[in-house]
Amino acid sequence: MRIDIKDILGKWKEYTLFNDMGMTVSVLDYGGIITEIMVPDRNGKFGNVVLGFKNYTEYEQNHSNYFGAIIGRVAGRIEDASFEINNQPYHLEANEGHHQLHGGSKGFHQVKWSVTPFQNKKAVGIRLDHKSIDGEGGYPGNIDITVTYTLTNDNKLTLEYSATSDKTTALALTNHSYFNLNGDLKNTVENHHVTIDSGHFVELNQELIPTGRLISVDETSFDFRGGRLLKEGFEDVSVQNKIAGKGYDHYFVFDHHLENNAVVQESSSGRIMTMKTDQPGMVMYTSNTLMDGLELKEGPSRRYLGVCLETQSSPASLHHEGFPSVILPAGECYQKQTVFTFGLQS
């Protein structure tokens, strides 16, 4: 195992983690962005399984896709860019209509994190630290945040998030990697077979804001408990698939009935990715609104090119009862982890 460090544009660093199986994970200090993950297909040929820009300047200039980045303070959409804690109102920057998306325009995806690489017998990784100041972007509390990326020889990539705030605040961190198990963007994710341990998802209105209702996945294209191809949702005529731009952009609440919270499989390459987390749910976004023609590492972007599994609590909890809370009480430790394991179909 080892870590390579590359200078990027004279202002950032890219850390590439290598395990003994040949798997690599590359991460920028800017945004904590995962720029590349190389894993083998069933013939032992390595390919990149995440979307990333060809030119690094694009990460700064074109951040509305949040490729691979750490998202915060609150991932997802906050209705009317405001919320209350103990009757105290907080007003945030509205960066999508009158709502806030993914922490606003100066969210954690735009921060240069301070990075400490580490290596021991079992693992190689980096620790990213950032301090967000009380009142920043309208959010209360000085928060110290640490995100750790760890790679082990069983092809597991573990993302750990920890934080503490000196005031009660809202916090929901996630990573916004777009996975494509074909490798090197050979195809869209329409033939990705996905299993999700979830019997309910959050209903969205036309502005993609949660209505406050949880819908049962029974008899819908949102029932991934037995596995299904993503294209079934791309082609489905249901209102919820259409609202999301003909696909998925919804929060799924986990049932904890299955071994993994999610499994993604792609049969032509034979690649499988399993995901396990202690988060209560995730947004699955299938790049329904990804624009054409961005210059990515292996070719131009297009719709449905990646699938994001954004493990997190739900910002809907700020305005409605019955959703996993994003409130972090003062002095308490926020501690979450998500593990992505890469393997091959048997």
Residue 159's H or E segment, with its range, is strand 156-165
Query: Which of 194, 340, 342, 345 has its CA nearest to residue 270?
Result: 345
Rounded least distance, CB 310 to ligand FUC, Å? 6
Q: Which of 99, 102, 109, 176 is catalytic?
A: 176
Residue 58's H or E segment, with its range, is helix 58-61
Q: CA 325, 331, 333, 334 torsion: positive or negative?
A: positive
Rounded least distance, CB 64 to ligand FUC, Å? 6
Rounded least distance, CB 88 to ligand FUC, Å? 27
Q: Which of 14, 79, 203, 310 is catalytic?
A: 310
Is the Cβ of residue 291 or residue 333 nearer to ligand FUC in the bound state?
Answer: 291
Look up 207 and say whether it is catalytic.
no
Query: Which of 326, 322, 323 has its CA nearest to residue 168?
Result: 326
Is the Cβ of residue 152 or residue 288 nearer to ligand FUC in the bound state?
Answer: 288
Is the Cβ of residue 14 or residue 310 nearer to ligand FUC in the bound state?
Answer: 310
Look up 259 and say whether it is catalytic.
no
Prior bond to 73 cis, omega within 30? yes
Of all residues in the shown chain, the one whose CB is closest to ligand FUC is: 285
Rounded least distance, CB 104 to ligand FUC, Å? 13
Is the Cβ of residue 111 or residue 282 nearer to ligand FUC in the bound state?
Answer: 282
Strand partners, 116: 127
Binding site for ligand FUC (CB under 6 A): 65-66, 208, 249, 283, 285, 289, 310
Identify residue 89 by its one-letter amino acid code: P
Angle made by CA atoms 67, 70, 76, in degrees to the nearest 5: 85
* Alpha helices (H) along 209-313: 230-235, 239-243
Q: So which residues are the catalytic ones?
A: 176, 310
